[in-house]
Amino acid sequence: MQTHRRPLSDRLAAFPRLGLANLPTPLEPMKRLTAHLGGPRLWVKREDATGLGFGGNKLRKLDYVLHQALSSGADAIVSGGVVQSNSQRQVAAAAAKLGLACHLAVYHGRIEPPTPEYKTSGNAFLNRLFGAHLHDVPWTGDRNAAIRALVGDLEAKGHKPYFVPYGVSNALGAVAYATTISEIEPQAAQLGFAPAAIVHCTGSAGTQAGLVVGAALAMPDTKIVGIDIDAEPTRVRADVVTFAQEASDLLDVPFDEATVDVVAGHAGPAYGVPHEATLEAIRLAGQLEALPLDPVYSGKGLAGLIALIRQGRWRKDEDVVFLHTGGAFRLPERARHLNWIALAIRVKAQMAAAAAPPPKYLINDHARYEMASRPDPR
């Protein structure tokens, strides 16, 4: 048992990093959002401020994972994600900074493009700007199969590619993300509070696995709450358990599966499809805290946190940390779509209040609203 008393920071020191990310990231109060919701006291861990390539939580993982890539003599990085993947953008930026070739399996079919600009703007534009080679593949539900196939193709051509899994989520990625706990614990202590919970969006599972493992050792009284944004809570929780167990083995700490809390019901109708609660969360974060959130990840994460607060999960005198995973660069790419959804919701509410059917130019498709022929609303 004595071995488990070794501090988290000492255990993490055994794993080298490259220094790609600007760490530690800030921990800031959200006083106006706290007042609006009536408590608990809310804080934000700014993982959107990691720096390189517009930052984000994946850069913290890549700091460690790509150290292993360089140590192995890799000449190329291979990863993948959907067209507007934040993870792909951070992989491409890191590869450019390190002078490595970057090959990305770009999955099509998981999300219906909401606007004509979807395939060329936002993160898709940045991937090209950072020099990544993009390989279009169909979405099959297997997150890593096409990435592994691409690795095999490059090996057959004499290259030394390094496999970076979807979302940079594996055992080493989870170990890397445990460093977030080693930052939050002293930051919170310096600010005079101990978090009752750390709440974040969870999908590829490596982020939550790292938080769970780190908190078990350094912040055992803090609950880690993952808001499922994939609309696949059972799969997400199983992946968190797998990665957390593997990371715990690497760090030589015990792991209790019961500490894995994945909250369902806040992903909207599907992955990548924002709903009314997401729009409200994005609006509140922007207007009250000047905090841009994206509609696929961080917006849904905050929507889940707001819902839990309204359900009375925490006392008003407790402190809760929201972990901002980044991705705000996606907002311009989705702006027209989000504006239309917001308009449609307002119009339908007005029609409902008037007991009248909605106008013909609105379509209700699993809580997603689009224009039928894109006329100007009358």
Q: Which residues are catalytic?
A: 85
CB 326 within 8 A of CB 54: yes
Of 8, 329, 24, 308, give the one whose Cα is nearest residue 188. Answer: 24
State yes or no: cis peptide before 24, omega within 30 of 0.
yes
Instruction: Please list, residue by residue across 34-73, b when 16 or more beta carbons sit within 10 angstroms of its beta carbon and e when fewer do.
Output: beebeebbbbbbbbbbbebbbbbbbbbbbbbbbbebeeee
Q: Looking at this protein, which amino acid is placed at residue 340?
A: W
CB 214 within 8 A of CB 179: yes
CB 97 within 8 A of CB 52: yes
- Residue 311 region by backbone torsions, left for phi larger than 0, else alpha for psi between -120 and 50, else beta: alpha
Instruction: State how far the Cα of 106 lies from the Cα of 135, in Å rounded to an integer.
Output: 6
CB 358 within 8 A of CB 348: yes
Residue 372 DSSP SS3: coil
Q: What's the Cα-to-Cα distance from 50 to each of 267, 282, 339, rounded to whole Å? A: 25, 21, 29
Instruction: State how far the Cα of 66 lies from the Cα of 94, in Å rounded to an integer.
Output: 8
Q: What's the Cα-to-Cα distance from 67 to each of 12, 19, 63, 368, rounded to whole Å? A: 14, 9, 7, 42
Q: Which residue has the tokens 């590829």?
A: 204
Instruction: State how far the Cα of 243 lies from the Cα of 206, in Å rounded to an integer.
Output: 6
